[in-house]
Amino acid sequence: MCLIVFAWRPGHAQPLIVAANRDEFYARPSLPLAQWPQALHVYAGRDLEAGGTWLGVGANGRFAALTNIRDPLQPPAARSRGELVAQFLIGDMPIEDYLNDVVRRSPEYAGFNLLIGNANELWHFNARETEAVRLKPGVYGLSNAGLDTPWPKVLKAKAALSEVLDDPQPQALLALLSDPQTAPLAELPDTGVGQATETLLSSVFIKSQAYGTRASTALIVQADGVRHMVERSFGPYGGHLGEVEVRV
């Protein structure tokens, strides 16, 4: 997952609103949003190469999502980051206990941001830090750096999310995730991947022959615990492959 914008509003009729794009190589096999046969309380996509996921919901209001940290100099990792989301959704370990375990094991993974929560709390952990942070109410943006790092795509998507929060609907969230406009050269971050790649990755919705936005997900959590999720899947050059909708 490479872009997540979300509104955390405890006490609101819709306490959590999430709009997220998963960016990945098209050749990496995956399954779209669905109920997991081996864990019927989990609804998420599935990475078939390593078995994890990038965003999903589980029992008792559990939610988790992940982004990678972009760093071309980091060494290969022993474990897949997607298992951090999957393990939280499948299990029932209390949030703080789970995060303490993640902090301890984080050197086993390449750089990542992890969001996990339930109906009452939402936490963020950046693998470059030493501890997780319980988030206060607000509108946040997360891409492949720290929380609310002001990359153009993050600022643009956060602003678009703020504009629809009075009446958030899945189609409006998916629309804000579909913006293919790249950022001006002067506004590009320098993450060490070169100007051409920085430009490609600077749009909210990424499309090319080999790499791009594979899934766009809208999640609306109701105060009564109902989660409404809509996910669109894409292939090379942004070709639309299908849409899945679930209420759980």
Q: How many domains does the chain have?
A: 1
Long-range pairs for 125-129: beta carbons < 8 A, 24 or more residues apart: 125/99, 126/69, 127/69, 128/69
Per cent of the chain over pLDDT 70 is 100
Confidence of residue 78 (pLDDT cuts 50, 70, 90): confident
Separation CA 134–CA 147 (nearest Å): 12
Show the tokens assigned to 15: 């306490």
CATH number at 212 reads 3.60.60.10
Q: At what angle do helices 82-90 and 95-105 cross, to 10 degrees?
A: 150
What is the per-residue pLDDT for 75?
A: 84
pLDDT at residue 119 above 80? yes
What residue numbers bound the domain in which 199 lies? 3-247
What is the per-residue pLDDT for 1?
A: 64
What is the per-residue pLDDT for 41?
A: 97
Q: What is the DSSP string of 96-128?
A: HHHHHHHHHHGGGSSSEEEEEE-SS-EEEEETT
Give pTM, 2 decimals. Answer: 0.96
Per cent of the chain over pLDDT 90 is 96
Separation CA 162–CA 168 (nearest Å): 9
What is the 8-class DSSP label of residue 65?
Answer: E
Q: What is the pLDDT of residues 149-199, one digit of tens each?
A: 999 999 999 999 999 999 999 999 999 999 999 999 999 999 999 999 999
